[in-house]
């Protein structure tokens, strides 16, 4: 009488994230960049498009310190910002 809902015989196959995993910043090497980004998000009502420069600086810090795999910024969505000079320095 009751019908079982069958959505196919395939079982769900999880897959890893496209960019893989990356180590946590245990030593706080990019903490100042992260805090600057989080403050920007808070101040701009969490409109992340308004904090793209801070996001770019944070990702650059992580890549410089090998906390994530190096990736061209164009692939991370910053193609339109490539004419600007990078502001992430080794002064974390």
Any domain includes 4: no
User: Would residue 64 count as lying in a domain?
Assistant: yes
> Does the residue 6 lie in any domain?
no
The three-point CA angle 82-88-90 to 5° equals 140
pLDDT digits (tens, 9 = 90+) for 22-35: 678 889 999 999 99
In a domain, 23, yes or no: no
Give the domain extent around 45: 31-81
pLDDT, tens digit, for every residue of 4-59? Answer: 555 555 677 776 666 666 678 889 999 999 999 999 999 999 999 999 999 999 99
Take residue 28 and report the two structure tokens written for it.
């706080």
What's the whole-model pTM score?
0.67
User: CA angle, corner 42, sides to 49 and 54, nearest 5?
Assistant: 50
């Amino acid at each position: 009488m009751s019908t079982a809902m069958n959505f196919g015989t395939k079982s769900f196959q999880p897959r890893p994230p496209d960019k893989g995993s990356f180590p946590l910043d245990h030593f706080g090497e990019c903490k100042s960049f992260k805090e600057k980004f989080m403050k920007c998000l808070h101040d701009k009502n969490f409109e992340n498009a308004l904090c793209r420069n801070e996001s770019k600086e944070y990702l650059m810090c992580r890549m410089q310190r090998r906390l994530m795999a190096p990736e061209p910024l164009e692939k991370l969505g910053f193609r339109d910002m490539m004419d600007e000079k990078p502001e992430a320095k080794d002064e974390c």
